[in-house]
Structure 1
Amino acid sequence: MGRFLIYERDLIFIILTYLKGILDLLGKSRYQLSYETRENSAEFLNHIDENQGNQNIDFYHIVQAKKAIDEWFKKQEGTYQIKFIQTLLNDDDTGKNIKVIWYQIGESENATEVFTRLNMGKIPLVNAELVKALFLKSSNFTKEGKAAKHLQQLNIAQEWDVIEKRLQDDAFWYFISNKTTETNRIEFVLSLAARNLDGEGIIDSDKLKVFLQFNRLLSEKSADVVQEWLKIKQCYMTLEEWFNDRALFHVIGYLVSQDVAIDTLFDLSQTSKTKYTFRQSLINLVLKKSFGYQELNALPENWIDEALSTLTYDSGSKRLRSILLLFNIASLLSNPATNARFQFDKYKGDRWDIEHIRSVASEMPVQKEKQKAWLDNVISYISEDASFDIEGKKTEDNSKEQAIKKDAITLMDSTSFDNDQFEAIYMRVISHYDPRGDEDVDNSIGNLTLLDSSTNRSYKNAVFPIKRARIITLDKEATFVPLCTKNAFLKYYSKQVDKMLYWEPRDSQDHQRAMSEIILGFFCGKGVHQ
């Protein structure tokens, strides 16, 4: 089970619900729970429906707790449920290990600060839950009348739920964050809203800094909890606006992926006089992060061609990954007529390698397992490929391929896997599918692309047509493949496509030329100022 957050009173209530049959036999009943701001939660606890678990964050954690309790009891012996009831309810020695702690505070004491002090180091306090308690505390509402206060509390609680649920959408979350293990994502928005709050005397590394800032703010007599909540909501609404704007989604998503903090972008937005200047500032920031230039207006002539020509496989994966990702972003923005979006959630959920489109011939597999995997890819490709001429007759190429396949199968089936025989077949495959295999390795960026690590590890030494077939299969299966990776293997950038199964120097040059044109178009504002 994953981690979930739930109060002990709710957890015990769910356990008693699970044991309701035994309680009925003993003439016992559960206690009843009611909530000041979430009336539906009480009803849901009484009738837990797993199908409604995604309606809000409370329901989700209740369902997860129920599943964990179900699994735990199923692993116990049959009489354990009765023993458990006795431990909870008996008034003899068996039940004396259950205690209720009651802490009475003075009228002049702050309940929130006392709670924090007492529990520090005892339970894992979470900023979000503590801040939520602050904003829903009755004494923070200025409206007179219980009904009016309750309505304000209910409104904030419902809006909190909406924001939490939205942040659970990975497409939205990975647009604004690179973190994959956040259990309480609304804390991200709270941190944004708190960035300008008074932090004097609060250590930056304090895990509860955000809570302490809001607690100090709402403790002031002049504090208006409704207005302060509105500021938090406005932070979220800004993120939502950026997400829904296709151009901003891609540009900001790219910058976040390059470790530009969201609060930096918020500050940039607030200091920009117009939406146009904000977008232009974002483009300048992309230029700085990707190529190191400060201003678009100060760029030398032919700067993009010169910059790309200096990038090779040895330039470092981080630098290359940054440029190849920008190529994908710029390509998507170059066509404003499409609604296609880059999948930052899929991109950040996997590891991406910088891969040669035309493999490095010298990297012949050495280990037997990798040699067999390489042969298996060749056999599978030849089995699926059909080399026929326009009259439907098998071509000479097909005869060569079938001979390679036959020898590969024979070697795979042999009791002794001979390394010399593998090398002979390997050289025949290279000679057939990559006639230039003995030429120098092309390490230019025109021969490089992004490939997910699992595919790359399996097909790293494969010849171009086998890699190409694998990319086509992934695309057919709707597996995420970056647009420019797919375009390169399908030779969409190549001006001459008479040899679809070979990746030649001209293909690499055309690929790099397209990269130059599309990225230059991006920096000229194509697709961004729309």
Structure 2
Amino acid sequence: MPHASAAIELRSVARLLTDEHGGPAKYWIPAYQRGYRWTRTQVFQLLDDIRDFLRDSLGRPAGQFYCLQPLVVKKMEDGGYEVVDGQQRLTTIYVILACLENWVTELGHANFEIDYETRMRDADFLRSMDEAKADNNVDFFHIFEARRAVKDWSKDNPGQSLKLIQHLLNSDGVSPEVRVIWYELPPEEDAIAAFTRLNMGKIPLTESELVRALFLRSAAKDDASGALGMRIAFQWDRIEHSLQDNAFWYFLQSSGEAVNRITLIFNLAAKLWDRGDAGDDHAAFTHFAMAMKHEGNTEQTWKSVNDIFQALEEWYEDRYLYHVIGFILHHTPRNESTIGNLLEHSAQLSKAAFKASLRDHVLRIAFGVNPMPAAEIGAMVEQQSNEASYGNLEKVRKLLLLFNMATLLENSNSNIRFQFDSFKKEIWDVEHIRSVSDSRPDDPRAQSAWLSHCSAYLKTDKRPEAAALLSVIDAYLEMATSKSKDMSFETIDSQILSFFNEASEGGGDGLSNLTLLDSSTNRAYKNSVFAVKRNILLKNDQAGTFVPLCTRNVFLKCYSSMVGNVTFWGAEDAEAYLDAICKTLTKFLIAAEAV
């Protein structure tokens, strides 16, 4: 974790050239660093990126800058800097300035100096870049290839060299310039340990680490008592701890590593979703660095971050907002943009008005319609629910997930919440509740597996008819092993469907015969009869496996007016299920208008 006393700032390339006394800055490459290894392609990419940035800056507000990756250094006793991380970029900048030295001199600047602890010849070659010595060792080769790349780029981009140097060395804060994230280790921090962490472990300074160091450093400047820094550190830790709770995190996001989740809050506070540089690696850091450029801004800037977190936390703790916003965010490709827009919208409305406004989002996502009068909602829901089918899985998934949300919200006294974390970590299929006759397995191995599932269920059924059917299945499976053809799969399949009352036409691909099922369960028992699926699903539920409430209700036949045979899903059950979907969704959408 970055130290609070570390110096961190956005430093122009022009400032890299001179030391605090105005002389050439000296950078020292220690023995633990490897040699220069940038390729011709990498040099071209850097030059192209800067050129494109300058072109895109035309017409934009003053103060635009291109930000290079962090340069991690530690000040030495002689006033120079030990380079801990960023040697490759620093050397490339040196090569660019050396190749275009005439322009650098004409603009009144001189290049900085680079020395090496053990590879002294590298320093000599860096100053001369003598082609005759370029093949003497691998370091020379790569340095000279970088020089050649700069020369070739200049030829390929006539008239751009002067412009590039002008902006590379600009530091007026008005015209476009190039800056680097300057991270100076405190005197007490061990440089080799820092290098090992940053390079050998392949763990670069993360955005959140840079921003934390920036806030703590700025807080120390603004408040000598240390109270502001302590408050920021305490609130920071609380935010990080809260975001580690998967129930909170997956309410907001569909994926994400357990580390650096706080970056989401920074991106929202910096409004990166509404900016052109959102894809930059350190766009959030540069936003906060500019915001705290002047002393006295730290507390207010941090407040903007904490306010964002508190708003998200309020959504999470409010049971209605949790389910409705969770549904909206789950179906939003540009998630941060949606969160940002919802935050802005909520700030402009009362809590009640904001809740009511969310219905419009749900109507567009689940039904593809614009806001409509409450009196028209019932007919619209009924029509779309009747038309929804297995042929439009995306539509069905949305309706079934919304059905779960609406069902949970029907009981205002309940504290049960939909498990977005469990839901988003699994792949969910839309599965037929009652088996579909034209989807029987045709592969012999799949047929045997299907029959084995039926056999496992029948062993729990004590009726004589079950025992008789079980013996037929076992006999068939034995014949399948010996590859005998005395009985066809179709024959035994017909007997099974008759036993489970699924021999008649039924089921189908409509919403009344569809539910959400996790892929591992679905693909293992795909198109099994209702009784087999029910048995497996209830076992999963008892074992603590997440089963959506409405899926569980289906297999418990909670929607049927007369339960009757719990092992059979008939036309009356399907009709009652579809009716429950329509009524629940209609009630939810109408009530949402007056939340």
Q: With the length of structure 1 as denominator, give the TM-score of the two structures.
A: 0.72
The one-character-per-residue Cα deviations of 1:470-516 (angstroms, maximum 9, x if unpaired) are 12111211211111111111111111222222111111111000001
1:402 corresponds to which letter in structure 2? A
CA distance in 1, matches of 2:251, 2:546: 16
Q: Is the 8 A contact 1:37 1:154 kept in 2?
A: no
Question: In the alignment, what sits opposite 1:141?
Answer: 221
Q: CA deviation at 1:378?
A: 1.0
Q: CA deviation at 1:440?
A: 5.7
Q: Is the 8 A contact 1:360 1:441 kept in 2?
A: yes
Q: CA deviation at 1:441?
A: 5.1
Over 3 Å counting, the alpha-carbon distance change for 1:527 and 1:373 in structure 2 is farther
Q: Is the 8 A contact 1:522 1:528 kept in 2?
A: no
Q: With the length of structure 2 as denominator, give the TM-score of the two structures.
A: 0.65
Q: CA deviation at 1:103?
A: 4.8
1:209 matched to 2:289? The reply is no
CA distance in 1, matches of 2:399, 2:539: 26
Question: In the alignment, what sits opposite 2:404?
Answer: 328
Q: Is the 8 A contact 1:255 1:286 kept in 2?
A: yes
Q: CA deviation at 1:179?
A: 2.1
CA distance in 1, matches of 2:74, 2:517: 59
CA distance in 1, matches of 2:273, 2:31: 47
CA distance in 2, matches of 1:198, 1:357: 44
1:340 matched to 2:416? The reply is yes
Deviates most, 371-380 or 331-340: 371-380
1:373 matched to 2:438? The reply is no
Q: Is the 8 A contact 1:335 1:527 kept in 2?
A: no
CA distance in 2, matches of 1:406, 1:232: 68
2:251 corresponds to which letter in structure 1? F
Question: In the alignment, what sits opposite 2:183?
Answer: 115
Unaligned runs of 5+ in 1: 1-5, 8-34, 39-94, 387-397
1:242 corresponds to which letter in structure 2? W
2:567 corresponds to which letter in structure 1? L
Question: In the alignment, what sits opposite 2:313?
Answer: 240
Q: Is the 8 A contact 1:433 1:501 kept in 2?
A: yes
Deviates most, 466-475 or 131-140: 131-140
1:263 matched to 2:323? The reply is no
Over 3 Å counting, the alpha-carbon distance change for 1:134 and 1:96 in structure 2 is closer
Question: In the alignment, what sits opposite 1:505?
Answer: 571
Q: CA deviation at 1:138?
A: 5.1
The one-character-per-residue Cα deviations of 1:286-316 (angstroms, maximum 9, x if unpaired) are 111111222132763622211211111112x
Structure number with greater Rg is: 2
1:152 corresponds to which letter in structure 2? L
Q: CA deviation at 1:423?
A: 3.1
Question: In the alignment, what sits opposite 2:389?
Answer: 312
CA distance in 2, matches of 1:209, 1:286: 32
Select the residue among 248, 253, 267 that pairs with 2:326: 253
Unaligned runs of 5+ in 2: 7-29, 35-71, 82-170, 174-178, 185-194
Q: CA deviation at 1:167?
A: 0.5
The one-character-per-residue Cα deviations of 1:190-212 (angstroms, maximum 9, x if unpaired) are 1111117996xx73321211111
Q: CA deviation at 1:142?
A: 1.6
Larger relative strand fraction: 2
Q: CA deviation at 1:454?
A: 0.6
Q: Is the 8 A contact 2:385 2:582 kept in 1?
A: yes
1:282 matched to 2:358? The reply is yes
Q: CA deviation at 1:361?
A: 1.4
CA distance in 1, matches of 2:394, 2:80: 58
Aligned CA-pair RMSD: 3.3
Aligned pairs for 1:45-124 (under 5 A) are: 97=32, 102-103=74-75, 113-115=181-183, 124=204
Question: In the alignment, what sits opposite 1:126?
Answer: 206
Over 3 Å counting, the alpha-carbon distance change for 1:494 and 1:212 in structure 2 is same
Select the residue among 484, 493, 501 that pairs with 2:550: 484
Select the residue among 430, 433, 440 that pairs with 1:354: 430
Over 3 Å counting, the alpha-carbon distance change for 1:255 and 1:198 in structure 2 is closer
Question: In the alignment, what sits opposite 2:496?
Answer: 429
CA distance in 2, matches of 1:138, 1:441: 66
What SS does the corresponding residue of 1:115 show, helix, strand or coil?
A: strand
1:192 matched to 2:268? The reply is yes
For these two proteins, the number of residue pairs brought into alignment is 418
CA distance in 2, matches of 1:265, 1:321: 23
